[in-house]
Amino acid sequence: MAVMTFCLIAKIALNASFPYDVSKTCTDLISQSFAKTFDLPVSITRSANIYGPGDLNLSRIIPGTIVSVLRNEPPIIRSDGTPVREFVHVDDVARGYMTLAEKIESSAGKAYNFGSNEPVQMLDLVNRIIKAGGKKATLEPVIMLKDKIEREIDAQYLSADRMNVEMDWRAEIDLDAGLASTIEWYRANLSKLT
């Protein structure tokens, strides 16, 4: 089986194959065409996996793992644990949107990536959440799949170089600090979650 790596760099042509990826590519192209054809102030944004307080989609790896850990339940990894992903805190993404809006004259029609430049393996991510949740000695993640999924992208992350260079934007919240503050939000609101 070939190892697949997916790295979004704004200067490389989009090469989507699966329906979800293709839909995002179509949106990018339509946005670019409207910016060019109608001279609309449209910037294209792409982000790594966004996380932070208030995410109620517990099927996502970070909120689901945090809630499991806080409930003293073993978190579930729906892979063999080896895929690599990148995560970016919601506050950094919001700051990125504001930066592009404030500089729309120079950002219109261009694609910008918001990322943390901190790719992490899923098993490592879950173990970091367990440790940050104070449960290191008592919880062990459940690996749902012992083998890699054939169509699973092995490594998926992006380059925020254009945002760094052109907009002087960088993710400011590193993964460990972001996980700590996110865990505190879930701890405070755990009784309200189903």
- ∠ CA 191-121-170, nearest 5°, is 85
Per DSSP, the residues of 63-100 read HHHHHHHHTT---EESS-S--EE-EEEHHHHHHHHHHH
Q: DSSP label at 52? A: -
Note whether 36 and 109 are within 8 A (CB). Answer: yes
Q: State both tokens at 181.
A: 């503050």
Residue 129, number of CB atoms within 10 A of its CB: 26
What Å distances lie between residue 41 and 35, 105, 149, CA to CA?
A: 6, 7, 41
* Spatial separation of the C-alpha atoms in residues 82 and 149, rounded to whole Å: 11
Considering the candidates 20, 51, 112, 186, report the single residue annotated as catalytic. 20
Nearest residue to 81 (alpha-carbon basis) of 23, 131, 111, 123: 123
- Clarify whether 20 is annotated catalytic: yes
Nearest residue to 131 (alpha-carbon basis) of 172, 75, 52: 75
> Any idea which residues carry the catalytic annotation?
20
